[in-house]
Amino acid sequence: MSRLDNKVALITGASNGIGAVAARRFVEEGAKVFLVGRSEKVLRNLRDELTHEKCDVMAGDIALEKTNQEMIEACQHRFGGLDISLINAGIEGAAALIPDYPTEVFDDVVAINIRGVFLSLKYSLPLMSKNGGSVIITSSIAGLKARGLGNSAYVASKHAEIGLMRTAAIENASNNIRVNCVSPGPTETRMMRSIEENRSPGAAESAKKEVLKGIPLGRYGTPEEVVNMITFLASDEAGACTGGVYTVDGGISAY
């Protein structure tokens, strides 16, 4: 048997990066997946790749209560329940010191990275309460460390995600719902390309070299490596794991 046979999984932020890789892995492991993201075209292409029997999709803004309500209702209608919720949607924000940080960008980061996670928990957990399940929140090493300069909104939001995870883990243990965070370090994704460019406009490669100096393994992680951890936490192999923060960061957290 595959590790996720007969499981139903919801994935937010599924259009690309870690979310898209997780969708493919979950289907390989036997799950049916309901994918949510901003780009309907990208999601439909991914659905066609994974087959309609195993996958359904919905485009929407995860910061909106309506989106969260509708995705849970659609997932239940399509697949009959929910066993795994991968709360993965997130944005990086700007690169600026606090006095110069645009307030509207701060608000956008809070809306997606905190409010969006809260709403996804709020509507996922009741559907999972009958049979138990696993919730994984994609946080970041920035949820544990304020690395570098100019990341106030992102760092604050990722710390908040870990607080939400710990609260949800305690509140839902009696329903056999496990809640954990995976905290990647720098990873080869679109988001990391954007962060490099924001830090050093027109000289992203120089920014990457500076980031690499702070990673003991001397390289970025891959989305596949992050998804290896996510898949473990989604599976019954992680039956005693709840309330934890699992880093995939090349050794950064050892400093």
- List, for residues 141-170, the tens digit of each pLDDT value: 999 998 778 999 999 999 999 999 999 999
Annotated catalytic, 101?
A: no
The pLDDT-based confidence of 111 (bands split at 50, 70, 90) is very high
| Domain 8-187+222-248 -> CATH class | alpha beta
- List, for residues 65-75, the tens digit of each pLDDT value: 999 999 999 99
Which residue in the block uniquely carries the two structure tokens 């080869």? 188
* 62 CB-near residues (< 8 Å, 6+ apart): 12, 13, 36, 68, 89, 112, 116, 119, 120
Mean per-residue pLDDT, 206-228? 92
Domain map of the chain by residue range?
8-187+222-248
* Residue 87 bridge partners (DSSP): 137
Instruction: In whole angstroms, give the CA distance from residue 36 to residue 240.
Output: 28
Instruction: Give the pLDDT confidence score for residue 236 in this predicted structure.
Output: 96
Mean per-residue pLDDT, 69-82? 97
pLDDT over 90 at 52, yes or no? no
Instruction: Give the pLDDT confidence score for residue 205 in this predicted structure.
Output: 85
The pLDDT-based confidence of 85 (bands split at 50, 70, 90) is very high
The single residue of 101, 123, 154, 220 carrying the catalytic annotation is 154
pTM: 0.94
Of 66-70, 203-207, 211-215, the range with the highest mean pLDDT is 66-70
What 3-state class would DSSP assign to 245? strand
